């Protein structure tokens, strides 16, 4: 965001390679995060994120920008891809611990395990939210976007985004508390 | 929570997320709100502290390359190859998905209706196959047969189908009569015999009552359409009898209806030519006057002048008669020859128009008028009738005798009744049955199922002897 989307979009429609590259570089991280917190697997998230941009190339002509930013459209594409992914895989979005290369000198098992546990908890907690709440939480707390920015991406006003955010946090807190209680020895 | 509090909490949350301490953010917030905010802040810290997964650089590059590769594949820019967007007016190919019932409810309804109609009509036609007159599905059967006749291609096939239906009609009537049910139906066939109170139409004997409506002057050999009322006692009473195609009538192409009617009349006439004596007879009297003209034999098959041949033909064609002819005058043998020829080709056309009028005149006035040769004729007119009945031992000879019958017939009964009288009722007492067996020998030549073949065979038989001498 923050770049001149209008001209970039026009250039992309003209088939200019540079425009596509710029859109990709700017939007890929956000799309990756979006996908990762729904899929729970980095490799899958990378593949799906790349697939989002291929779809963008294929369906460029169908997109009518209007007031919506390109990223919002890319989120929509990503949403449908994730749905398809879950249908095909028919599996829960559980984060699995990857096998690590023990020969890697930078490998720090404790730190990575701690990191993955927190990610695992967060992904599990996000499953209790609906699609809009999940998206707002990721945009707000992972991507650190302002409410105004989130409202623009999701096509909602700022007040609605705040309300969604509050409800999402309460739900998350309850779900995390319940999860902690289930782990405490009785 | 009022909007002001919400805003304060949001500000506090933003400050917490930006790294400020919880204490510095809690200024001016109530205790309850503070508890809530602390909880939120704790979660926010948790979320904020959660390491955000980053894609590997290799994956990012690979994704970019995949996108660019796809872009190269679609070498044409988006503007050049626009999408099938509705706003562009572009129309894509037909897809069955276009016929979405939600979009086209009428199409769905029409399809369902059509299916129901087709299935039910097909079922009804199937069920009506064995129905009989008077039953509910019988009209369906008749309508279906009519449709089949209409759709059948080729007059030959259509005629075959029609004759099949005629047989079925008569079988149905018989079944209804045997079951002692009452029903009314109509069928068409040849009037084969005419009795005072019963007529045989096709294979059925139908009662003719005073109240029966007769449309046209039906004669033996005519094709008639007859409406039959089957009584519970099994009797079959004619309600109406209508002449469809006259027996002796020849149909010029101008008169004949197109297509099937021509074929129908031709085949019917051909049948009559073989079976009914009414056709053989009229040719004979016509042959009598003709021999005097001595026209060339070539025309004998095509016109009434044919009988001119007999002198030359007689010896060869009618070998059996030739043996008899010595006793009988030449005219007797002469008449026999033309009969055979006339029955096939000429007769159908001739007899219809010529039969009623010429025969009386030929028998009465012409023979006396023709002074020269007629000498033999007078003798024939008297003598042949008795001799004919006696000589007929061979199947062929009765025919010449038939030629003579007209002359006694008018004298015996009435001149006006010539049309009905011809053979059956004529000289042979009042019982019609003995008269009919006489014609039955004539069909002997071959099966009546192939009238055209029979005609050809007879023509060949007739031609070859004329050529040989």
Q: Assess if residue A1 is contained within a domain.
A: yes
Rounded Cα distance, B272 and B222, in Å? 9
Tell whether A48 is covered by a domain.
yes
For residue A184, tell me if it sits in a domain: yes
Question: In terms of CA atoms, which chain A residue is nearest residue B43?
Answer: A173
From A94, A123, A150, the end of a domain falls on: A94
Tell me if A46 and B56 make a contact (CB, 8 A cut-off).
yes
* Same-domain check for residues A90 and A124: no
A130 touches chain B (CB under 8 A): no
Q: Based on the fold, state whether residues A84 and A124 are members of the same structural domain.
A: no
Return the biggest CA–CA distance within chain A: 65
User: Among A9, A29, A54, A121, which would you mutate to test the B interface (most chain B Cβ atoms within 10 Å of its Cβ)?
Assistant: A54
Same domain? For A89 and A119 the reply is: no
* A84 and A111, same domain (yes or no): no
> Among residues A35, A61, A94, which one ends one of the domains?
A94
Q: What is the mean pLDDT of residues A141-166?
A: 84
- Nearest chain B CA: its distance from A87 CA (Å): 23
ipTM of the complex: 0.71
Cα distances from B99 to residues A36, B86, B96, B117, in angstroms, run 39, 17, 5, 21
How far apart CA B19 and CA A139 sit, in angstroms, is 17
Do A82 and A25 share a domain, yes or no? yes
A72 and A159 both lie in a single domain: no
Provide the pLDDT for residue B366.
Answer: 38
Given CB atoms, is B102 within the 8 Å cutoff of chain A? Answer: no
Closest residue by Cα to residue B201 from B239, B256, B233, B150: B239
pLDDT value of residue B30: 67
- Residue A15 has its nearest CB partner, among B50, B67, B78, at B78
One domain for residues A3 and A59: yes
The answer to whether position A99 is within a domain reads: no
Distance of CA B362 to the CA centre of its chain: 42
Residues A115 and A27 in one domain: no
- From the list A53, A61, A122, the residue facing B78 with the nearest CB is A61
Question: Which residue did the predictor score with more confidence, B440 or A36?
Answer: A36
Of B62, B64, B78, the CB nearest to A13: B78
Q: How high is the pLDDT of residue B122?
A: 74
B50 closest CB neighbour out of A57, A61, A119: A119
The answer to whether residue A102 is domain-embedded is no
Say if residues B133 and B150 touch (Cβ distance below 8 Å). Answer: no
User: Stretch A7-17: mean pLDDT, rounded?
Assistant: 83
Query: B-chain residues within 8 Å CB-CB of A172?
Result: 43
A66–B contact, CB cutoff 8 A: no
Contact A54 B66 (CB under 8 A): yes
User: Containing domain of residue A87, as a range?
Assistant: 1-94
- CB contact under 8 Å between B43 and A176, yes or no, is yes
pLDDT surpasses 90 at A54: yes
Residue A119 has pLDDT above 70, yes or no: no
Cβ separation B81–A147 shorter than 8 A:
no
Question: Structural domain tally of chain A?
Answer: 2
Residue A50 has pLDDT above 90, yes or no: yes
- Contact of A60 with chain B, judged by CB distance below 8 Å, is answered with yes
Q: What is the CATH number of the domain that holds A73?
A: 1.10.1740.10
Q: Let me know whether A49 and A121 are in one domain.
A: no
Q: Is B55 within 8 Å of A29 when comparing Cβ atoms?
A: yes
B85:A46 CB<8 A: no
Tokens standing for residue B362: 């030929």
- At B269 the pLDDT is 40
| Per-residue pLDDT at A52 exceeds 90 | yes
CB contact (8 A) between residue B39 and residue A173: yes
Q: Is residue A146 part of a domain?
A: yes
Please report the domains of chain B, with CATH numbers, ordered by start residue. Answer: 3-49 (no CATH), 153-245 (2.40.50.320), 260-365+374-467 (no CATH)
| pLDDT over 60 (residue A29) | yes
Considering the domain architecture, whether residues A83 and A140 belong to the same structural domain is answered as: no
On whether residue A101 sits in a domain, the answer given is no
pLDDT tens, residue order, chain B (469 aa): 555 666 666 777 777 667 777 667 666 666 666 666 666 666 666 666 666 678 888 899 999 999 999 888 876 544 434 444 444 444 455 556 556 656 566 777 788 888 888 887 777 777 777 888 888 888 888 888 888 888 877 778 888 888 888 888 888 888 888 888 888 888 888 888 888 888 888 888 898 888 888 888 888 888 888 998 888 888 889 988 888 888 754 443 434 444 434 333 343 343 444 343 334 344 334 444 444 443 434 333 333 333 333 333 333 333 333 334 334 443 433 334 333 433 333 343 333 333 333 333 333 333 333 434 333 443 343 444 444 434 444 444 344 433 444 444 343 333 343 334 344 334 343 444 344 334 334 444 444 445 566 666 666 666 555 444 3
Q: Do B43 and A24 touch (CB under 8 A)?
A: no
Looking at the partner chain, which of A24, A118, A141 has a beta carbon nearest the beta carbon of B67?
A24
What are the counts of helices (DSSP H) followed by strands (DSSP E) for chain B? 21, 6
Task: Report the SS3 class of residue B80.
Answer: coil
A55 and A118 part of one domain:
no
Task: Give the pLDDT confidence score for residue B93 in this predicted structure.
Answer: 52
A111 in contact with B at a CB cutoff of 8 Å? no
User: With an 8 Å Cβ cutoff, are A15 and B39 in contact?
Assistant: no
Q: Give the 3-state secondary structure of chain A.
A: CCCCHHHHHHHHHCCCHHHHHHHHHHHHHHHHHHHHHHHCCHHHHHHHHHHHHHHHHHCHHHCCCCCCCHHHHHHHHHHHHHHHHHHHHCCCCCCCCCCCCCCCCCCCHHHHHHHHHHHHHHHHHHCCCCHHHHHHHHHHHHCCCCHHHHHHHHCCCHHHHHHHHHHHHHHHHHHHHHHHHHHCCC
Residues of A in contact with B81 (CB under 8 A): 61
Cross-chain residue pair A57–B63, CB shorter than 8 Å:
no
Chain B touched by A119 (CB under 8 Å)? yes
**If pLDDT is split at 50, 70 and 90, which confidence band does A184 have?**
low
Instruction: Judge whether B89 is closer than 8 Å to chain A, CB to CB.
Output: no
For position A148, which CATH number holds?
A: 1.10.10.10
User: pLDDT at position A46, please?
Assistant: 92
* CA gap A20, B78 in Å, rounded: 12
Considering A44, A69, A94, which residue would you say is the last residue of a domain?
Answer: A94
| Helix or strand run (H / E) with residue B188 | strand B183-194
Contacts of B51 in chain A (CB under 8 A): 115, 118-119
| Residue A75 belongs to a domain | yes
Q: How far is CA B110 from the centre of its chain?
A: 31
The mean per-residue pLDDT over the stretch A103-109 comes to 51
- The whole-angstrom distance between B57's CA and the closest CA on chain A is 10
Phi-psi region of B202 (alpha: psi -120 to 50; beta: other; left: phi over 0): left
The predicted structure's pLDDT at residue A53: 94
Shared domain check, A181 and A116: yes
Judged by a CB distance cut-off of 8 A, whether residue A45 touches chain B is yes
CA distance B417 to B413: 8
B19 touches A at CB < 8 Å:
no
Residue A166: list chain B partners with CB under 8 A. Answer: 6
Whether pLDDT at A20 is above 60: yes
The reply to whether B83 touches chain A by the CB within 8 Å rule is yes
What is the band of A21 on the pLDDT scale with cuts at 50, 70, 90? very high
Q: State the pLDDT at residue B393.
A: 41
């Amino acid at each position: 965001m923050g770049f001149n989307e209008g001209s970039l979009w026009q250039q992309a429609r003209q088939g200019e390679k540079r425009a596509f590259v710029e859109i990709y570089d700017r939007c890929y991280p956000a799309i990756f995060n979006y996908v990762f917190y729904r899929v729970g697997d980095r490799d899958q998230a990378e593949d799906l994120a790349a697939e989002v941009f291929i779809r963008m190339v294929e369906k460029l002509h169908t997109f009518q920008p209007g007031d919506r930013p390109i990223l919002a459209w890319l989120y929509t594409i990503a949403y449908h891809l994730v749905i398809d992914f879950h249908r095909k895989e028919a599996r829960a979005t559980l984060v699995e611990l990857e096998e690590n290369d023990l020969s890697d000198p930078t490998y720090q098992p404790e730190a990575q395990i701690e990191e993955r546990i927190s990610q695992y908890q967060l992904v599990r907690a996000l499953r209790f939210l609906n699609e809009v709440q999940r998206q707002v939480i990721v945009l707000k707390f992972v991507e650190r976007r302002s409410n105004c920015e989130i409202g623009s991406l999701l096509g909602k006003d700022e007040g609605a985004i705040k309300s969604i955010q509050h409800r999402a946090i309460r739900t998350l807190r309850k779900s995390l508390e319940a999860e902690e209680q289930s782990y405490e020895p009785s | 929570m009022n909007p002001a509090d919400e805003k304060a909490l949001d500000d506090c949350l933003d400050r917490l997320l930006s790294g400020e301490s919880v204490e510095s953010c809690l200024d001016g917030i109530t205790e309850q709100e503070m508890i809530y905010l602390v909880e939120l802040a704790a979660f926010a810290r948790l979320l904020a502290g959660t390491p955000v997964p980053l894609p590997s650089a290799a994956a990012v590059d690979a994704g970019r390359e995949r996108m660019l590769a796809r872009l190269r594949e679609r070498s044409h820019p988006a503007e050049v190859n626009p999408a099938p967007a509705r706003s562009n007016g572009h129309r894509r190919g037909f897809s069955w998905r276009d016929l979405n019932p939600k979009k086209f409810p009428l199409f769905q309804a029409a399809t369902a209706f059509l299916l129901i109609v087709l299935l039910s009509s097909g079922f009804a036609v199937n069920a009506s196959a064995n129905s009989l007159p008077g039953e509910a599905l019988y009209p369906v059967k008749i309508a279906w047969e009519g449709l089949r006749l209409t759709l059948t291609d080729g007059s030959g096939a259509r005629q075959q189908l029609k004759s099949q239906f005629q047989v079925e009609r008569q079988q149905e009537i018989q079944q209804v009569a045997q079951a002692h049910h009452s029903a009314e139906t109509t069928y068409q066939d040849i009037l084969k015999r005419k009795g005072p109170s019963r007529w045989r139409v096709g294979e059925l004997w139908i009662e003719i009552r005073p109240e029966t409506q007769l449309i046209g002057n039906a004669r033996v050999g005519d094709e008639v359409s007859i409406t039959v009322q089957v009584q519970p006692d099994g009797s079959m009473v004619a309600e109406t009898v209508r002449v469809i195609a006259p027996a002796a009538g020849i149909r010029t192409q101008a008169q004949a209806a197109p297509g099937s009617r021509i074929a129908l009349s031709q085949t019917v006439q051909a049948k009559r030519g073989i079976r009914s004596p009414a056709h053989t007879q009229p040719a004979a009297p016509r042959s009598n006057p003709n021999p005097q003209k001595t026209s060339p034999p070539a025309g004998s098959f095509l016109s009434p002048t044919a009988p001119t041949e007999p002198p030359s033909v007689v010896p060869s064609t009618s070998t059996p008669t030739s043996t008899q002819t010595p006793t009988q005058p030449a005219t007797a043998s002469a008449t026999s020859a033309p009969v055979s020829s006339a029955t096939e080709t000429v007769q159908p056309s001739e007899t219809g128009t010529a039969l009623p009028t010429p025969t009386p005149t030929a028998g009465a006035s012409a023979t006396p008028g023709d002074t020269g040769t007629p000498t033999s004729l007078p003798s024939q007119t008297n003598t042949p009738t008795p001799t004919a009945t006696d000589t007929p031992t061979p199947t062929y000879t009765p025919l010449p005798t038939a030629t003579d019958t007209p002359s006694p017939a008018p004298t015996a009964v009435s001149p006006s009744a010539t049309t009905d009288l011809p053979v059956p009722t004529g000289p042979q007492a009042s019982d019609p049955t003995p008269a009919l067996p006489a014609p039955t020998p004539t069909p002997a030549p071959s099966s009546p199922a192939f009238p055209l073949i029979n005609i050809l065979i007879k023509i060949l038989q007739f031609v070859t002897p004329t050529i040989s001498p």
